């Protein structure tokens, strides 16, 4: 099998390594187009776009063992999608919004492969609820100035410095990091792709 992760995320690379020891990384580069409203639908749509782009770039008719995996993650609070912050001020606003509350993290995953010479795909999403402690303005400033919030959905990384503010989690921890490992493993096994 030739496995490709359609993401440049170091976290997704680390997590996919828990299932598949050897794979290539070819990040999707096309502009993301969102036409959906619900967080679960949005991440499924975006993961599909990423996996589809790389699959179509790398697929050759004679390549039966190709498997492409794409993923996308968003943070949702009070019906608002929190993507990656545009700057540190935006990050501070996001962290302030999450302080003392429970929010949801959605990750969509799409898998493309060849079966009997024909392209196949499945797409799914997982949701994890995360509870954040009440944070002081000094704590928010400290966290944002650490730079860890940069390039992360919802302006935080659960596996980093922000861990000190997480008071509860319901669902898959790895889903919050960007890849629902157990669900992905189950789907790959069911499709006989491992």
What positions carry a catalytic annotation? Answer: 72
Question: Containing H/E element for 77?
Answer: strand 66-77
Residue 103 host element (H or E): strand 102-115
Residues 17, 19: Cα–Cα separation, whole Å: 5
Which single residue is written with the structure tokens 């006989």? 192
Cβ atoms < 10 Å from Cβ of 175: 27
The 3-state DSSP composition of the chain as helix, strand, coil percent (nearest 5) reads 35, 30, 35
C-alpha–C-alpha distance, residues 188 and 103, integer Å: 29
């Amino acid at each position: 099998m030739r496995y490709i992760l359609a993401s440049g995320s170091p976290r997704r690379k680390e997590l996919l390594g828990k299932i598949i020891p050897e794979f290539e990384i070819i990040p999707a580069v096309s502009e993301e187009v969102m036409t959906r409203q619900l967080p679960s639908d949005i991440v499924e749509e975006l993961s599909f776009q990423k996996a589809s782009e790389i699959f179509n770039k790398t697929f050759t008719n004679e390549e039966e063992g190709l498997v492409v995996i794409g993923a996308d993650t968003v943070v949702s609070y009070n019906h608002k999608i929190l993507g990656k912050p545009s700057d540190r001020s935006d990050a501070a606003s996001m962290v302030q919004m999450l302080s003392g509350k429970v929010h949801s993290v959605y990750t969509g995953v799409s898998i493309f492969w060849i079966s009997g010479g024909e392209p196949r795909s499945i797409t799914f999403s997982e949701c994890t609820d995360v509870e954040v402690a009440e944070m002081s303005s000094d704590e928010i400033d400290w966290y944002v100035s650490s730079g860890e919030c940069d390039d992360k959905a919802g302006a935080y990384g659960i596996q980093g410095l922000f861990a000190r503010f997480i008071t509860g989690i319901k669902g898959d921890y790895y889903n919050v990091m960007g890849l629902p490992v157990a669900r992905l493993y189950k789907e790959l096994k069911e499709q006989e792709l491992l």
